[in-house]
Amino acid sequence: VPELRKDPVDGTWVIVSTERCARPLAIRTKIPIQETEPCPFCPGNETETPKEVFALRPGGSERDEPGWQIRVFPNKYPALRLDGAVEERGDELFVRKDGVGVHEVIVETTVHDLHLADMDSGQLVEILKVYAHRIRALSCDPRIRCVLVFRNHGFLAGATKLHPHSQVVGLPRVPRRIERELEGAKAYHEVHKRCVFCDILHREIEEGTRILLENEGFVVLAPYASRIPYELAIYPRNHAARFEDEGEEGIRFLGEALKKSLGAVRNALGDPSFHYIIHTAPVSSGSRREERSAQDAAFHWHIEILPRMTSLAGFEWGSGMYINIVSPEEATALLRSKG
């Protein structure tokens, strides 16, 4: 029987309807990314990208030259620019503002076609440290209110390049999904004086049916109200509001959890397209220290992993509600057995 489930944090309702899984074509075939030559992310082609803003160069090589291990530069086709005014303009009906913000690309490795699950743990740790570095760097600009790090893998996830890379966006406002999570978390915290994510983790570990894996620092689970098949979330075991504040040890445990999770997704599902996105607490201005402390008590950073086996259809677009054809319990069982 189909079931409606409510996300305990942001209140989104999801229809879990596993009968639909028998439907032809419900699980998609792979569509390759059409590559343009030469790859601008490969070593030797540094002049094909905007000038780098940060790079890991263990041998001490020159900027915008080969010799880097990880390289960061502005997106050539930026969605936002650090230029213009932050004020809103317009009238009651048509409000607009300049697209003030930052949009960067992080090239994660020199190897053109390496799957993240095949990278060595040391490289993965360095990538995660670069994420934290860029979040901290972008947070320094007073115009930036929220920094999102995300990664698209494969054609159906919207990736246009095969070469492993992530993106960082610094936004002039807190986007709706983070805002809703924050609101839900704050409302729960006001009533219970506890973090809702901590309570969820406690319950999930107790129930066990949606836990993919755990290590000393992190828990990976299929969320109770998963929006799409095989959705996963990685949570630090202990309360922490900000990804970018994780220490050396935390990052190491996270790298292990991420590598194993993405490996399970690839092995069980045949290398599907996927996104992952880091949800860290928004930047708070120093002048509102109380607000920051209330936010940080309520919010618990996490990574969403979203394999893209199915397209969003008109129903999802039109309603803002999701139909998920694989229950998170089934998803966990499959990923565990084949991971």
- Integer Rg of the chain from CA: 20
Choice from 134, 151, 252, 300 touching its own copies (CB under 8 A): 151
250-289 residues near its own copies, rule: CB under 8 A? 275-279
Instruction: Please tell me the number of Cα atoms within 13 Å of 105 on its side-chain side.
Output: 23
79-108 residues near its own copies, rule: CB under 8 A? 79-81, 83-84, 88, 92-99, 101
Size of the site for its own copies (CB under 8 A): 86
CB of 60 to its own copies, least distance (A): 33
Choice between 140 and 313, CB closer to its own copies: 313
Collapsing DSSP states into helix, strand and coil, what is residue 6?
strand
| Residue at 197: amino acid letter | F
Choice between 64 and 304, CB closer to its own copies: 304
Choice from 106, 124, 159, 281 touching its own copies (CB under 8 A): 159
CB of 246 to its own copies, least distance (A): 18
Choice between 103 and 252, CB closer to its own copies: 103
Whether the CB-CB separation of 126 and 71 falls below 8 Å is answered with no
CB of 250 to its own copies, least distance (A): 21
Stretch that binds its own copies, among 3-11, 58-66, 122-130, 233-241 (CB under 8 A): 3-11
* Alpha carbons 215 and 254: distance in angstroms, whole number: 9
CB of 140 to its own copies, least distance (A): 21
CB of 287 to its own copies, least distance (A): 24
**Which residues, 6+ apart, have CB-to-CB distance to 273 below 8 Å?**
30, 152, 153, 154, 155, 156, 157, 159, 307, 308
Phi/psi of residue 304, nearest 5 degrees: -95, 130
* Alpha carbons 153 and 134: distance in angstroms, whole number: 20
Residue count of the chain:
339
Choice from 57, 129, 173, 237 touching its own copies (CB under 8 A): 173
Which among 100, 75, 277 is positioned nearest to 173, based on CA atoms? 100
β-pair partners for 220:
213, 234
Choice from 158, 289, 336, 338 touching its own copies (CB under 8 A): 158
CB of 8 to its own copies, least distance (A): 5
Pairing label, strands 322-324, 13-16: parallel
Residues in contact with its own copies, shown as a per-residue x/- string from 292 to 321 under the rule CB under 8 A: ------------x-x-x-xxxxxx-xxxxx
Choice between 132 and 178, CB closer to its own copies: 178
* Alpha carbons 174 and 144: distance in angstroms, whole number: 9
Choice from 164, 172, 229, 236 touching its own copies (CB under 8 A): 172
* Alpha carbons 288 and 294: distance in angstroms, whole number: 10
CB of 249 to its own copies, least distance (A): 26
- Angle 147-148-150 (CA atoms, 0-180°, nearest 5)? 155
Would you say the C-alpha torsion 325, 265, 245, 146 has a positive or negative sign? negative
186-245 residues near its own copies, rule: CB under 8 A? 196, 199-200, 203, 224
13-42 residues near its own copies, rule: CB under 8 A? 13, 15-17, 19-20, 22-26, 31, 33-34, 36
